[in-house]
Amino acid sequence: MTIKFEVTDSEKQLRDMIMNAIVEKLNKIFKSSKQDILQEIQEIVVSGLQQTQEYEDLTLGKLKVEFGFMMGEEKNIIDPIINRIADSIEIEMIPFKWETARIRGGMQIKMLRADFSDILSLPQAITKPEGYGFESIPWLEWYLGYGGQVVIRDFGIQYGVFPENSRSGYGIMVQDQGPYIVPGDNSVKDNWFTRFFSSTIFEQAVFSAVESAITRKI
């Protein structure tokens, strides 16, 4: 007895059937992994920003004096801003498709508005010094976008130990010692946050998080 097998579909049709089945599986895996991926990326953002030099400068270094943070409240000022960034993260899945002999698709990560208005509107983004004629100081806006620029002409900072009349305890604003120039060279397009989110470290951490979340679903 002779048994014959005949393949009725062309090689291309078979390949398309296999790849479309893979694409369908990928879409299901990514959809079911979306929340896990989001949570892991949020954790990466919080822990990553807290390990940067900028975070240390703002909570432990000279910048907490420059911007008049209340002594002992530095992390209570900075951490809510970081948490707001993490909470703003959105993941948009781009469905996978098999077309033109390749699989296309993936995901987009969105966070923060281009003008940073979602964090600049936070109460922690402003300090309110007393006795200097200023109603408020938009320190975060200055820090992110006005590095190296004069923002106060008539006042400058005098460093020292001031246990009674200084919010930070180590500096006061003094008239006729201006101008006050925002430390650093940050700009809207090149600052603490833009550098972190464009860094290889962040990109690799996100890739690893996505890979890990998907692997658990396979």
Q: What tens digit of pLDDT does each residue of 72-119 get?
A: 999 999 999 999 999 999 999 999 999 878 889 888 999 999 899 999
pTM of the model: 0.84
Q: What is the CA radius of gyration of the chain?
A: 26
Place of tokens 């003094």: 174
Average pLDDT of the residues in 106-133: 86
Report the C-alpha gap between 45 and 2 in whole angstroms: 65
Give the domain ranges of the chain.
11-217
52-72 pLDDT per residue, tens: 999 999 999 999 998 989 889
Q: Which of 24-28, 76-80, 158-162 has the weakest average pLDDT?
A: 158-162
Q: Is residue 131 scored above 70 in pLDDT?
A: no
Residues with Cβ within 8 Å of 77's Cβ and at least 6 positions away in sequence, in order, are 58, 69, 70, 124
Q: How confident is the model at residue 139 (pLDDT cuts 50, 70, 90)?
A: very high
